[in-house]
Amino acid sequence: MAFCTFSKEVDGAYTVIDNKFITKYLPEADGFAVQVYLYGLLLCQNTDSEFSVRSMAEILKTTEEKILEAYAFWEDYDLVEILSREPFTVQYLPVRSATGRPKKAHYEQYADFNKELQRKMQKVGKFISAGDYIKYMRFLEENEMQPQAFLLVAEYCISKQGEAVSPSYIFNKAKKLIRGGFFTYEQVEKELSSYNAHEGDLLAIYAALGLSQRAPDETDYALYGKWTEKLGFVQSGILAAAKKQKRGSMTSLDFTLDELYSKGKTEAKEIENYLAEREILANLTFRLGRKLGVKIQNPAAYIDEYTEKWYSYGFEEGSLLDIALYCLKTERGDFECMHETVSSLFKNGVVSADGVKAYLKEKNNELKLFTKIQAVCGGMRKSAANLELVSTWQSWGFDESMILEAAKRSASGSNPIPYMNKILSDWKQKAVFAPDAIPSAPTSTAQSGNAGSRTFVNPSVDAANAKADRERHYALLREKAQNRAEKFLAKANGNPRFKEIAVELSKMEIALAKAEVFEPAKLPALKAQKKALLTERKQILAGLGIEEAQLLPQFSCPRCSDTGFLPDGTACNCYKVEK
């Protein structure tokens, strides 16, 4: 409902303006206050509408704060009563019984002040309305600032804003000074003179940042005060930081100075050195990102977490770029994975360019061997774990020929890596380290590549391989059935009505359960409704060329649902066949 209402005494069938308001109160108010009063009067006739102070502010093209000020003005006259500030609620009172006057505003007391303020405003073509005069006088009555000190504030604001200056802008500046303990003419003059003294400093900072020349505003002065008084920067240090900014702004400069302060860098020379180093690290971070395939927007976080640490470890730029490329090749293309590699090298004392080069040569040779294994066995990921196995197999004493021989014997398995581990482990235990030393054995059904080939595979390894193959066979059958059902369901869900029916049927189950317990009389109607929905669903499916059964997985073996085992845990007939 609207935030304005009539009191019970007001008969408001129409938006009627009392003549007494026009003759007595309107002449003493400014136009905006009258606008607010009249629009609120209209809202009193429409209490059922959703209307807020924000809505009025948008219509009157103003702010909520100004609307509240206007209602406070009318409350002094007893024309309205503010019932609540949050949420804001105001009640209009009968004009005939209003006896109030603006509180504490006495024209004669501020005659000289008003003349001087009007003179200052006229310099920029601004004229003060009667309503604004009242606002200024009420501010002086309600705050401790001396009138002459307030005139200094007004003059300062006029010089910054020109014709655009407003009472709220002047009040905000005055309130800031009051909060800072500046009340008298001398105190305010000294504080404002410091602002003017720093104007040239701020203009120099603007130039260093590449900003267009403009008059400094309050926010800029506040930032400058923070940098010089709170953080302890001198002008030369601030300029050194500003010159390093690209497409800089006062906000980005503030962020940089906060970072410099946290690092203990406040003098111009150390700032220049620190930012030059950060620029080098930023460029390196971007290059590493490209090598790793990582898109970097802001390098700061990557520098702090990774690049700066690697730089402090003593790694050269070329070494880091080579490590990044190796990480990308091994499917570890991110900064965290690279950090694991770099940290491992550092812990093992491998930091120099030659040391890193030798390490990467060894790892790239392992990578080449793994690529050959991939060519024999098919798709295997170049993960860190898999590559580490190559190093492990070599540490067992096996050369490339033996490792590739194990790969050939594992190629037909569903997961070659475990098979290779089992074969090579078996050979290691039996001290078989050359191809001609591999003893002959019966052909392995799981591992033989050609009929009549003879392999040396432990029977337990062969059994494990066969079991894994069977499990993979059933997994593929289930996946195939589920994928087929999902395709039919996706096609059905493409019909909006089909999806609606699915939701309605879901709700229907709950309704049926409740009716069965609490309202049995409703069951027949609900069941009839469910039947109608099912019939409509069937018709939609028929129109799409889909059978109801196709929405569920159609397993090749309905007894075990392509798992190989029955619900009681015994092997299904199909499992024995596959066996």
**pLDDT tens per residue, range 126-167:** 888 877 887 888 888 888 899 999 999 998 888 878 888 888
Check residue 124 and give its pLDDT.
87
CATH fold of 4-97 reads Arc Repressor Mutant, subunit A (1.10.10)
Q: 383: Cβ–Cβ under 8 A, 6 or more apart, which residues?
A: 330, 331, 332
Which carries the bigger pLDDT value, residue 339 or residue 14? Answer: 339
Check residue 294 and give its pLDDT.
86
- Taking the alpha carbons at both ends of the chain, their separation in whole angstroms is 76
Instruction: Read off the pLDDT band of 104 (50, 70, 90).
Output: very low
For 516-526, what is each residue's pLDDT tens digit?
777 888 889 98
Residue 493 CB neighbours (<10 A): 12
Overall pTM surpassing 0.85 (yes/no): no
Do 327 and 336 touch, CB atoms closer than 8 A?
A: no
Question: Which is nearest to 339 in space by CA: 287, 367, 302?
Answer: 302
The pLDDT mean for the chain works out to: 82
Task: Report the pLDDT averaged over residues 236-256.
Answer: 84
Does 482 have pLDDT greater than 70?
yes
What's the CA gap between 51 and 58, in Å, rounded? 11
| E strand or H helix that includes residue 385 | helix 384-395
DSSP 448: -
Does 458 have pLDDT greater than 60?
no
Which of these ranges, 59-73, 183-197, 343-357, has the smallest mean pLDDT? 183-197
Check residue 109 and give its pLDDT.
72
What's the CA gap between 109 and 96, in Å, rounded? 30
Check residue 450 and give its pLDDT.
40
Among 53-62, 240-249, 385-394, 516-525, the range of highest mean pLDDT: 53-62
Q: Which CATH number fits domain 370-457: 1.20.1250, 2.120.10, 1.20.140, 1.10.10?
A: 1.10.10
Task: Report the pLDDT averaged over residues 535-557.
Answer: 89
Check residue 357 and give its pLDDT.
92
What's the CA gap between 565 and 579, in Å, rounded? 12
Does 20 have pLDDT greater than 80?
yes
Instruction: Read off the pLDDT band of 310 (50, 70, 90).
Output: very high
Compute the half-sphere exposure of residue 432: CA atoms within 13 Å on the CB side of its CA. 21
Instruction: Read off the pLDDT band of 47 (50, 70, 90).
Output: low
What's the CA gap between 116 and 110, in Å, rounded? 10
Does 320 have pLDDT greater than 90?
yes
Task: Report the pLDDT averaged over residues 408-424.
Answer: 81
For 285-305, what is each residue's pLDDT tens digit?
999 998 888 888 888 888 988
Task: Report the pLDDT averaged over residues 431-437.
Answer: 88
Which carries the bigger pLDDT value, residue 46 or residue 528? Answer: 528
Q: 518: Cβ–Cβ under 8 A, 6 or more apart, which residues?
A: none
Does 413 have pLDDT greater than 80?
no
Instruction: Read off the pLDDT band of 38 (50, 70, 90).
Output: very high
Q: What does DSSP say about strands 80-85 and 4-6: parallel, antiparallel, or unpaired?
A: unpaired
Give the three-class secondary structure for 160.
helix
| E strand or H helix that includes residue 141 | helix 130-142
Which carries the bigger pLDDT value, residue 452 or residue 35? Answer: 35
Q: What does DSSP say about strands 88-92 and 4-6: parallel, antiparallel, or unpaired?
A: parallel
